[in-house]
Amino acid sequence: MPGSPSTGPQDGSLQFEITDFSDARRALEEPPAGLEIARLVRPTSWDSRRRAPLPTDHALGGRTLQWIMSLGPDSRPVRLANSIPRIANEIAERWHDAEQTTGYLMGLLRDSRGGRKGFPSEIKRELVALHLLARSHRPGSSP
């Protein structure tokens, strides 16, 4: 019988099976029967290499606020501070050492690990501006 579940529709349309969302998720997360997990090459998880989160990761520290206010109004990383306070805190901690600061900023701006999503363009612009500002304060560098 044309169009019956056993033979599928004859008009070229697709036939779908109604399924439960949790069953579908489980099917995606679990390997097919008989497949050995040990043989799969899984992407490296950076979670195990990251430091444990600190309560201060979600708020700007006092030193960070002072550092931001010490910068000229056009140099202040407002979007970075609002979106990713952890990174703003890290930059503020290093700011006294231009070499350490530029190294940290280059590590943020370059994808040395591969597969990073990257920063939104406004935040990336702020990071580049901070990098240039820190470089201009490095001994022996030209502004």
pLDDT in tens, 99-109: 999 999 999 99
pLDDT reading at 45 higher than 80: no
Band (pLDDT 50/70/90 cuts) for residue 76 is very high
Predicted local confidence at residue 35, as pLDDT: 59
The DSSP string of 71-119 is: S-TTT--HHHHHH-HHHHHHHHHHTT-HHHHHHHHHHHHS-SSS-----
Indicate the domain borders of the chain. Answer: 56-136
Q: Mean pLDDT, to the nearest integer, of 11-39?
A: 67
For 116, other C-beta atoms within 10 Å of its C-beta total: 11
Percent of the chain with pLDDT over 90: 45
Tell me the whole-structure pTM to 2 decimals: 0.61
56 vs 2: CA distance, rounded Å = 65
Q: Above 60 in pLDDT, residue 131?
A: yes
